[in-house]
Amino acid sequence: MKIILASGSPRRKELLEQAGYTFTIEVSDADEQIQAKNPEHLVEELSRRKAFAVARQHLRGQNPAMDFSGKEPLMVIGADTVVALEGQILGKPAEEEGAVRMLQELAGKTHQVYTGVSLYRIEEGEVTGTRTFFVCTDVTMRPLDEEEIRAYVRTGEPMDKAGAYGIQGKAAVFIEGIRGDYYNVVGLPICALVQQMNGLAMEKSSRQQEEHRERK
């Protein structure tokens, strides 16, 4: 089965490679403007949009002249990560002062990191299965003074990351502890992802067996 990662995140790419998968990358152009009252719904919806934006390019309806017979099945993976503090969703900072404010809010407190993941299985130009889920990890950041925060922000590391920090980078020294999946904080809950991918594949196998029995 061919795997497509619908994300340009280098961290998600590294994690999927670390898990031993061979895959291609097709960056999603999905609309990420969405109103959501809670972080779990937000990351699930955004991951679904990202995965479908890529999946639709491989569907029969988008390519009516293409012969899909015998084509290798596809699995498209979309993901989105946000940080939440006391119910407030923190995305990626728009500028350095925004990153400073986010880190000042997070310092000395426990926050949550949510990653939503969506899977689309495609065979011969048709969607034959989907799954969407999220994983939440609690992260406790030690107290930080303004000098520490501004020095970190000047490195540029926070600017493309939800919550304005990278746990796998220079901000590792800010983290007192976590409860849950570390890789979820990095950007992809790889353990849950593998389980869901295997489950989706087994669902398809079970349906094929049932259809085979019905034809007998």
Which residue intervals of the chain are DSSP H helices? Answer: 10-18, 39-55, 96-106, 146-154, 182-186, 190-215
The whole-number mean pLDDT for each consecutive block of 10 residues of the chain, a chain of 216 residues, reads 94 95 93 83 95 91 68 92 93 94 97 97 92 98 97 95 94 97 97 95 61 48
- pLDDT tens digits, one per residue of 64-74: 666 667 678 99
According to the model, what pLDDT value does residue 64 have? 66
According to the model, what pLDDT value does residue 53 have? 95
Q: Which two tokens stand for residue 134?
A: 């999220």
Chain centroid to CA 128: how far? 21
Query: Domain range spanning residue 6?
Result: 2-215
| CATH number of the domain within which 142 lies | 3.90.950.10
Which residue intervals of 79-189 are DSSP H helices? Answer: 96-106, 146-154, 182-186
According to the model, what pLDDT value does residue 212 have? 42
Comparing CA positions, the residue from 87, 95, 7 lying closest to residue 42 is 87
State the distance between the two ends of the chain, measured CA to CA, in whole angstroms. 28
Q: How many domains does the chain have?
A: 1
Q: Catalytic positions, please?
A: 80
Q: What is the pTM of this model?
A: 0.88
